[in-house]
Chains A and B, each alone.
Chain A
Amino acid sequence: MEGSAIIKLEHVKAGYGDTVVLDDVSFEVARGEIFILLGGSGCGKTTVMKHMIGLNPVLGGSLTIDGMEWTDDNRAELCRRIGVMFQSGALFGSMTCLENILLPLEEFSGLKAAARREKAMALLSSVELADAAGKMPSEISGGMRKRVAIARAMALDPDVVFLDEPGAGLDPITASSLDELVLRLRREKGTTFVIVTHELASVFKTGDRAAMFDRARRAMVAIGPPAELAKRVDDDFIRRFFSRGG
């Protein structure tokens, strides 16, 4: 199935309430792809991601994940098939790192307690944080919190994992190590990643393709492999974006 589209947006009107942030957004994300939502601050890339993860309904058009729209009937099924890492990590502060990963396993996996614990520890090991299992989120660094959040997002072996600004607030070395983690997880598990970012180093390192948004035009202005987008000289916004490093 690798290569076929798992996410489809057709003429989506993105926004919240009465506010339209982006109009007529259409693209597909292929299975196993690392797809980047790219653009400057406030351009609507996180808004599009919130539509994709079912937090906000689209204002128009159609958005499907594996052929299913975000309806009340499909919600439970779709939630099992996606994982999300929010910008802050959004780990539950009253739980240890291990308990954060155990939570979705306890609720949905149907595994016995020992198997759940074994899987959670394996996930922590896969993000190289097995020694942080008993620590509270407040006791670990921002980069470590994001790694634990990725492990939690991977807990139910989702088809697609969404990452919101994974490198935000991290030093370049830690941000780069997160990129390597994403590449390794894709290689090992074949997971599809959709990443919201404006950091070009990360885009070039991880992205198979990127959709680019412009706040001024309230539109998706380009889509394609990052290296090709960077060569475009016909669009002033794209040229300036890449020449100034995002």
Chain B
Amino acid sequence: MKIFRSIGEHAAEIAGAVRECMAILGETTVEFLLVPFNPRRFRVRDFMLAFERASFDALPVMSGVGFLLGVILAFQSAAALRTFGVESFVANLLSIALFRELGPLVAAILLAGRSGSAFAAEIGAMKVDEEIDALVTMGLRPVRFLAMPRIAAAMVAMPAVTIFVELAGLVGGAIVLKMMRVPGAVYWAGVISAADVFSIVLGLAKAVVFGALVALVGCTAGMRTRSTADGVGVAATSAVVGGIVAIALADGIIAVICNFWGV
């Protein structure tokens, strides 16, 4: 019976988190809609701070992982394509894979690990330290102060860092193909010919959605932090896990929609 109880408790916990996520999403959406009528509602300084951390501070690791992704993809695919004597098509494969799928996906997973956990830890520490209670007793909405600037920052930062992941991946692929004696001009021509505008725009749109999800899950995990010794750690962990699950779900849904529309 213990196992059923445990499953039930976990299910209730997940349902509670999803419900709170939806509530924060709704409240954040309303706050965004109110900003044009009263721009002071938007906390520019908090947004800039979160943006800097999610973008500029993340660029080295994003570029590094993107580069290695390109190298690995190029090596693995070249090995298979060489059998047919068409290793130059690695460029096309890299271009499509990075722009359409892997660029935003990898950037989002890294964002979940870096910023999603950081958002949860920051907000969690504020909750433990009663700062969120202080906001509430002042009559201020925590979502406006804590979630909105972070979600906006992640949504703006993600397309930018995704472009860096994609470019770094292409550079990694170029170096591998250079080692395989594929001329650079041939490689870059393959990259450009395979990169259609729709794929690039779809990838960047995905990046915006993934950024919003990572930040939303991170902020929700922070708001749900318990005042226990391991509360902030648990919140940070659930932000990363929840963020990655949300990204995978969203990516799957987008893939099904694209397939349905035949794009």
In the complex, what's the smallest C-beta–C-beta distance from A134 to chain B, in angstroms?
16
The reply to whether the CB of A76 lies closer than 8 angstroms to some CB of chain B is: yes
Assess whether B136 is interfacial by the CB under 8 Å rule: yes
Q: Which A residues are CB-close (under 8 A) to B136?
A: 54-55
Give Cα distance in the complex from A54 to B138, angstroms: 11
Of the candidate stretches B57-65, B125-133, B171-179, the one touching chain A is B125-133
Contacts of A53 in B (CB 8 A): 137
Is B133's CB under 8 angstroms from A90's CB?
Answer: yes
What residues of A have a CB within 8 angstroms of the CB of B46 in the complex? 94
Please name all residues of chain B whose beta carbon is closer than 8 Å to the beta carbon of A90 when the two chains form the complex.
Answer: 129-131, 133-134
Write out the residue numbers on chain B whose beta carbons fall within 8 Å of the beta carbon of A93.
126, 129, 131
For the complex, would chain B's binding face be called helix, strand, loop or mixed by DSSP majority? helix
Interface size class of B (residues with CB under 8 A): 10 to 19
| B138 surroundings in chain A (CB, below 8 A) | 79, 103-104, 107
Whether B139 and A86, one on each chain, are in contact in the complex, defined by CB atoms closer than 8 angstroms, is no
| Interchain CB contact under 8 A, B140 and A92 | no
Q: How far is the CA of A53 from the CA of B126 in the complex (A)?
A: 19
Contact A87 B130 (CB under 8 A): yes
Q: List chain A residues, Cβ under 8 A from B23.
A: none
A82 interface hit (Cβ, 8 Å): yes
B136 nearest CB neighbor, chain A only: A55
> Chain A interface (Cβ within 8 Å of chain B)?
53-55, 75-76, 79-80, 82, 84, 86-88, 90-94, 103-104, 107-108
Show the binding face of B for A, using Cβ within 8 Å: 46, 49, 126, 129-131, 133-134, 136-140
Q: List 21 A-B contacts (CB under 8 A).
A: A53-B137, A54-B137, A55-B133, A55-B136, A55-B137, A76-B139, A79-B137, A80-B139, A82-B137, A84-B133, A87-B130, A88-B129, A90-B131, A90-B134, A92-B126, A93-B131, A94-B46, A103-B138, A107-B138, A107-B139, A108-B139
